[in-house]
Amino acid sequence: MKSSPLLLPAVLLVSTVCWLLAWALHAPLVLRAPVTLWFMAVCPGLAVVRHVRGLDPAQTWTLALALSLALDLLVATALLYLPPLPFTVALSVVTLIAALLPVRAGLPPRDLRPNA
């Protein structure tokens, strides 16, 4: 069974919106912490890495985690000079653009499952 080509962009979009809502509405820490951890550790990198071909799922998820943490580090460094709002918006915009780019450009997305 093949997954829908829009599944991963939809997951990234929902994750980004949930994170923005949790941050903007000052949700309780019990709700905000897991959403923030998921978004910061996985979503920015996965949005970019899913365009790389030739990786198996373990490589994809490992590279997504590493790239997410690298992007988080860059944004955190910029946060030293900027207030928090641009930080939140910048990371969300990068994630959304990377997630929706192939849909807008009409490129076929890559399935994350191994070839069987």
Rank 14-23, 90-99, 107-116 by mean pLDDT and report only the highest.
14-23
Digit-coded pLDDT (tens) for 44-103: 898 888 888 788 888 888 999 999 999 888 878 877 777 766 667 777 887 887 777 765
The whole-angstrom separation of Cα 81 and Cα 20 is: 21
Q: Looking at residue 1, what is its pLDDT?
A: 39
pLDDT surpassing 80 at residue 107: no
Higher pLDDT: 110 or 42? It is: 42
- In sequence order, the 6+-apart residues with CB closer than 8 A to the CB of 64 are 42, 45, 46, 48, 49, 50
How far does the chain reach from its first CA to its final CA, in angstroms?
A: 11
What letter would DSSP give residue 26? T
